Each structure stands twice: as structure tokens, then as C-alpha cells.
Amino acid sequence: MAVLSPELRGEAERIKARYPAGRERSAMLPLLYLVQSVEGRVTRDGLREVADVLGLKTAEVEAVASFYSMLRLRPTGAHVVSVCTNLACALRGAKEVYAAAHDAIGSHAEEMTEDGLLTLHEEECLGACDAAPVVQVDFANHDRVTPERMRELIEALRRGEVSEPSAGRAPRDFKEASWILAGLGDGA
């Protein structure tokens, strides 16, 4: 079954049209976010459809998709909790924050919880080192997170609540965050 409905296929063509003739492959990332916003990850069918929109081989699209940690090729929970454990965050307690997230989520990193709600991801630098240790929930930053705060963020997700991030608005879930990253504005 097609990932993109006829309406979303039209959206994909409009995304492609943002780029000059001959540079259409620059639309690859937003198109990958678009298919991710539908299925909550990028499936083989999604890769094929992005390749079809761009006139590329599926392997060319897969090579890009597999490079970026924001694009998820594996089964993924409704919410992705990413904990930065790189140097600045590690110096300020990120290992303990990561351990708290691991315990609270109760599944291995990169795997989806049995209820399909959560996926834990260990991230490299999120580019916000001054706010270390940094956690993202569906790409929204939470600054200076303690192990206790980490547990609260996960408990809130289990109650169906998305906590306010340190800046901006929290996406409803990973699918909506992907929709926003496709450049399609708020709200899938």
C-alpha cells in the first residue's frame, strides 16, 4: 500500500518544486520527513516513494536516510526520547540521565517499547552544549535535565502528556515533529 495518499503525493511534488531544476534531489530530506510523518518511521515503501518522486534509485535514497539519526528506519515508538551523551553533556551528568531514561523506558536503546509508545535513542552532540545535559523529546529540547526530571518527562508521556520544552512548542508526537521538519508548518 502506498505511504503517500494522493493528497500527500501532491504535497511531495510541491516540496520538490521548491528547488531549482536540476537540484531536485535537494528535496530528499524534507521528502523523507514527509514519509516519516505518515508511518512514524521510514519504511522500504517510503524510500521507494521518495525515490520515485525524485527519479532516483531506492538505494540512493536509502544511503542518505541511513546517515541521519533523525530519520528512523527501524520500528519506532510514538515518542522518541534522545539523550545526548557527548562530551559537554557527559561532564554534566548525562550518563546518569541516560541510565534514568533507560530504566524508566525499560527497553533497549533504539527498540520500541512493547506498547509502541517510546523509543530511547543515545545521541551525539545536539548543538546546545551550554544547556548540558540536553534531552530531546520528539526533537524538542529540554535543557539541564537531571535524572529526576528525565523520569518525570517519561512518566508524563506515559500519561499521554507532552511536557513543555525549554523553548517553543512541543510537537504532539514523533509523526508531527517529522511533519514540521518536512517544512509543512504546525500540525500534521
Rg of the chain taking only CA atoms, in angstroms: 17
Beta bridge partners of 142: 135
Q: Which residues pair with 83 in a beta bridge?
A: 122, 135
Nearest distance in Å: CB 131, ligand FES? 7
- The three cell numbers locating residue 156: 508524563
Query: According to CB under 6 A, which residues from 128 to 157 bind ligand FES?
Result: 128-129, 132, 134
Nearest to 15 by CA among 2, 26, 3: 26
Give, rounded to a whole angstrom, the gap between the first and last alpha carbons of the chain.
20
Binding residue (CB under 6 A) for ligand FES from 97, 126, 135, 145: 126
89, 104, 120, 135: which one binds ligand FES (CB under 6 A)? 89
Q: CB-wise, 125 or 188, nearer to ligand FES?
A: 125
Q: Does 73 bind ligand FES (CB under 6 A)?
A: no
Residue ranges that bind ligand FES, judged by CB under 6 A: 84, 86-89, 125-126, 128-129, 132, 134
